[in-house]
Chain A
């Protein structure tokens, strides 16, 4: 195993949890692995992929994440890899479908797994390993529940119950139980590692207004060692802040969010990796799969919707093991934004009533929802997320032979989900207001205990800021203005 690791990936040793997980798979056991962010989860299926006969299928919730994983494999020279998702054109899909057996690694989304022809092709493959990444999305109790994930268990059965690996970075006990039940892998091996990252100091700053928040952040940025990421919950704020930072001379800064073109996303990610950027102002679209070792800080300008995603995002700092800082800025009332977001993601009673009324007049719409997408969207005022939720409910209900009146049950489902989300936000808020050690609190939340003494622990325990600061000012990089010189530098030097 070590030889393969060295030969293919160029690493000389495993990180915590990788060897155990991989051995378990190689000896033919279904496996659930919970490894903290930043410890190389993907290796747990990549390496077995090279040691087992057949294809590895990886189900992944986010398109951007999928592309990052494909890129990682391409980077080590793997050509037999494809992201089978809605980004592919019709021709590309057609071509891919007909040579599916030529791929070693097939990444796909839960939505794609609804396609009959795709499943048909998959079922003809020799599947070495079936991987569910971000497996917490399966659980209604997970912070990122995706109804489409519920069907993965069914797909797995249709594929002949291949050897399965469920990966996640954060999962409470109930979530773990849900994962196993949903995938029907009750007898799987379980590898759970501490979510704690001792080299990341945890800081919370309470401020009184959004202006003060900006000022406090600028103060920190003036002293802090980069590079780093600042997370926002809106595109607009990410863009605006990037602009402010550029103007105020914080070196090279860029905004990153889902609204960028594919090419620009690529360029900005890569510039960041190559050290051409100092700070990224991002929404949560940034960072999944970013393998930058030397991130020195992660700032949250807005509070995340739950401790799980907070942990995931700060986990991108300090992968090299060096001292890093996680700073969360909180102004009283900040929880309103995530509460609104949580509500907006779900269907309201009013929307469901509007839908019920509409379907009572256009009953055929229930059986061919896609054909009425724009109409339904307009009459019930649905967002894209809303519609996807409705579609997924509709698919299931139609498959079960239920009529549109089953929408009534959706009301209760929505109420339950809202309560889950509200509770998560509340947990996050309690953590922000807590006066006990922040690390201890987080571990408690994940049913763990703090067993080691951490030097620069958190603002409550006290940290030595000198470990994280620099005095020199960041300068924007000069651009070469002689085009021939620059071209030579890019192509031949």
Chain B
């Protein structure tokens, strides 16, 4: 039986999550929903690469997909909206491993992937036009902030017009040529310049006869590859490294509100004090702390959970094969949900 690429992705997530969460937790994961539940699940079930891969996938489309899989007996409902793979489903997935190409990492890069592409595509177009000394063209990106960024970049770079194009070409071909498993054409065909306008994603998948979702993931793969490589060896790519330079802290791993809470924590405020100061619910601040524990390696949770409870929770989470909080809660009656989530968050990262 043939299944679509998106179905493969969903099935893969389902093998990890099983019936411990509802099937919609997979939608939230793929959408990249920024709630602590979703972020925590991504870590807990080792699905961080899948975070935010399909931000525009709609609930009704998703429902259609899983209903179809249920209908053809690939998955079966265990209880209220939580599903498991059937034997048939197992067989289908057994042959294929993780459907994602090597470099895709949604959690790590989702915040700057879109911006990276906006900057890259505008940079290539503008440099190509400069090279031809043409000023009459329509920029392919409309956002003002991308234009501001490019303007200040061009001022800063020391190359002459004709050398700039050569330098950028050199960097791009070195970077993309280093690992051809990423299939560079899938990205290059989207770029616009003096003589040519790039294709839309739909057009590429049409011309290359690829499934649109699969193409989307391979496109992300290249972007994530580029970000990763440039981060690693900035000096090798003097122009491209500018694409990943942070200008307003949004490249940080925490959401805006959480980083505010983090700042206040570092100033020594307690949870209640922060809640009062920020005029937020206590639960919200607790959510922030869980998010911090997930993302900041050296953040210690000792202040919030006693050593004893930490050990108990850890032990319980290993014994109870499921990661549903209420079972852990039952076996560690002395701990509350916040403490359990916090310990799981800290462990999930390991």
Question: Does chain A bind chain B?
Answer: yes
A residues with a Cβ closer than 8 A to B are 67, 71, 74-77, 82, 87-88, 91-92, 95-96, 246, 254, 262-264, 266-271, 273-274, 276, 479, 481-484, 486-493
The stretch among B170-178, B252-260, B328-336 that forms the contact with chain A is B170-178
User: B340 at interface (Cβ–Cβ under 8 A)?
Assistant: no
Residues of B within 8 A of A484 (CB): 173, 177, 184
The answer to whether B189 and A486 have CB atoms under 8 Å apart is yes
The answer to whether B138 and A71 have CB atoms under 8 Å apart is yes
Chain B, range 132-168, C-beta contacts under 8 Å to A? 135-142, 144-145, 165-166, 168
The answer to whether A266 and B142 have CB atoms under 8 Å apart is yes
Q: A267-B198, A487-B184 are in contact. List 16 more A-B contacts (CB 8 A).
A: A75-B135, A246-B206, A254-B200, A266-B140, A267-B197, A273-B197, A479-B199, A484-B177, A487-B172, A489-B193, A489-B195, A490-B124, A490-B191, A490-B192, A491-B124, A492-B131
Residues of A within 8 A of B140 (CB): 263, 266-267, 270
The listed residue (A77, A263, A270) touching B138 by CB distance below 8 A is A270
Residue of B whose beta carbon sits closest to that of A271: B197
The answer to whether B169 and A488 have CB atoms under 8 Å apart is yes
**Most chain A CB inside 10 Å of its own CB: which residue of B137, B191, B195:** B137
The answer to whether A490 and B195 have CB atoms under 8 Å apart is yes
User: B185 at interface (Cβ–Cβ under 8 A)?
Assistant: yes
Q: In the complex, what distance in Å separates the CA atom of A169 from the CA atom of B201?
A: 36
Residues of A within 8 A of B184 (CB): 483-484, 487
The answer to whether B197 and A481 have CB atoms under 8 Å apart is no
Residue of A whose beta carbon sits closest to that of B142: A262
The listed residue (B189, B193, B207) touching A491 by CB distance below 8 A is B193
Q: In the complex, what distance in Å separates the CA atom of A74 from the CA atom of B135?
A: 9
The interface on chain B, measured as residues whose beta carbon lies within 8 A of the other chain's beta carbons, has a size of 41
**How near does chain A come to B325, taking the closest CB pair, in angstroms?**
32
Q: In the complex, what distance in Å separates the CA atom of A263 from the CA atom of B166?
A: 26
Q: In the complex, what distance in Å separates the CA atom of A268 from the CA atom of B176?
A: 26
**How near does chain B come to A10, taking the closest CB pair, in angstroms?**
8
**Most chain B CB inside 10 Å of its own CB: which residue of A74, A87, A270:** A270
The answer to whether A263 and B189 have CB atoms under 8 Å apart is no
The answer to whether A483 and B207 have CB atoms under 8 Å apart is no
Q: In the complex, what distance in Å separates the CA atom of A412 from the CA atom of B203?
A: 49
Given A92-B144, A481-B185, verify A490-B128 contact (CB < 8 Å). yes
Q: In the complex, what distance in Å separates the CA atom of A490 from the CA atom of B139?
A: 15
Residues of A within 8 A of B206 (CB): 246
Residue of B whose beta carbon sits closest to that of A71: B138
Residue of A whose beta carbon sits closest to that of B203: A254
The listed residue (B173, B201, B207) touching A479 by CB distance below 8 A is B207
The listed residue (B138, B188, B197) touching A486 by CB distance below 8 A is B188
The answer to whether A491 and B196 have CB atoms under 8 Å apart is no
**Cβ-Cβ contact count across A and B, 8 Å cutoff:** 105
**How near does chain A come to B192, taking the closest CB pair, in angstroms?**
7
User: B127 at interface (Cβ–Cβ under 8 A)?
Assistant: yes
**How near does chain A come to B182, taking the closest CB pair, in angstroms?**
10
The answer to whether A487 and B191 have CB atoms under 8 Å apart is yes
| A to B CB contacts below 8 Å, 7 in the list | A267-B199, A269-B138, A274-B197, A276-B197, A483-B176, A487-B188, A491-B172
Residues of A within 8 A of B207 (CB): 479
The answer to whether B196 and A274 have CB atoms under 8 Å apart is yes
Residues of B within 8 A of A262 (CB): 142
Q: In the complex, what distance in Å separates the CA atom of A87 from the CA atom of B145?
A: 13
Chain B, range 44-89, C-beta contacts under 8 Å to A? none
The answer to whether B192 and A267 have CB atoms under 8 Å apart is yes
Residue of A whose beta carbon sits closest to that of B169: A491
The answer to whether B176 and A493 have CB atoms under 8 Å apart is no
Given A489-B195, A490-B191, verify A77-B141 contact (CB < 8 Å). no
Q: In the complex, what distance in Å separates the CA atom of A195 from the CA atom of B193?
A: 37
The answer to whether B142 and A491 have CB atoms under 8 Å apart is no
Residues of B within 8 A of A482 (CB): 185
Q: In the complex, what distance in Å separates the CA atom of A490 from the CA atom of B120?
A: 13
Residues of B within 8 A of A274 (CB): 196-197
The answer to whether B200 and A276 have CB atoms under 8 Å apart is no
Residues of B within 8 A of A269 (CB): 138
Residue of A whose beta carbon sits closest to that of B139: A74
The answer to whether A491 and B136 have CB atoms under 8 Å apart is no
Given A267-B192, A267-B197, A491-B131, verify A483-B138 contact (CB < 8 Å). no
**How near does chain A come to B199, taking the closest CB pair, in angstroms?**
7
The answer to whether A76 and B136 have CB atoms under 8 Å apart is yes
**How near does chain B come to A375, taking the closest CB pair, in angstroms?**
21
The answer to whether A483 and B197 have CB atoms under 8 Å apart is no
**How near does chain A come to B261, taking the closest CB pair, in angstroms?**
22
The answer to whether B193 and A75 have CB atoms under 8 Å apart is no
Given A486-B185, A491-B124, verify A77-B135 contact (CB < 8 Å). yes
The listed residue (A266, A483, A489) touching B196 by CB distance below 8 A is A489
**How near does chain B come to A76, taking the closest CB pair, in angstroms?**
6
The answer to whether B138 and A92 have CB atoms under 8 Å apart is no
Q: In the complex, what distance in Å separates the CA atom of A264 from the CA atom of B166?
A: 28
Residue of A whose beta carbon sits closest to that of B248: A91
Q: In the complex, what distance in Å separates the CA atom of A268 from the CA atom of B140?
A: 10
Residue of A whose beta carbon sits closest to that of B208: A479
Residues of A within 8 A of B200 (CB): 254, 263-264, 267-268
The answer to whether B141 and A263 have CB atoms under 8 Å apart is yes
The answer to whether A493 and B195 have CB atoms under 8 Å apart is yes
Q: In the complex, what distance in Å separates the CA atom of A207 from the CA atom of B140?
A: 41
Q: In the complex, what distance in Å separates the CA atom of A481 from the CA atom of B184?
A: 10
**Most chain A CB inside 10 Å of its own CB: which residue of B169, B188, B194:** B188
The answer to whether B188 and A276 have CB atoms under 8 Å apart is no
The answer to whether B128 and A491 have CB atoms under 8 Å apart is yes
Residues of A within 8 A of B195 (CB): 489-490, 493
The answer to whether B185 and A490 have CB atoms under 8 Å apart is no
**How near does chain A come to B273, taking the closest CB pair, in angstroms?**
29
Residues of A within 8 A of B196 (CB): 274, 276, 489-490
**Most chain B CB inside 10 Å of its own CB: which residue of A76, A77, A263, A270:** A263
Chain B, range 250-279, C-beta contacts under 8 Å to A? none
The answer to whether A483 and B188 have CB atoms under 8 Å apart is yes
Q: In the complex, what distance in Å separates the CA atom of A481 from the CA atom of B185?
A: 7
The listed residue (A76, A82, A490) touching B188 by CB distance below 8 A is A490
**How near does chain B come to A92, taking the closest CB pair, in angstroms?**
5
**Most chain A CB inside 10 Å of its own CB: which residue of B135, B145, B203:** B203
Residue of A whose beta carbon sits closest to that of B185: A483
Q: In the complex, what distance in Å separates the CA atom of A92 from the CA atom of B145?
A: 8
The answer to whether B197 and A492 have CB atoms under 8 Å apart is no
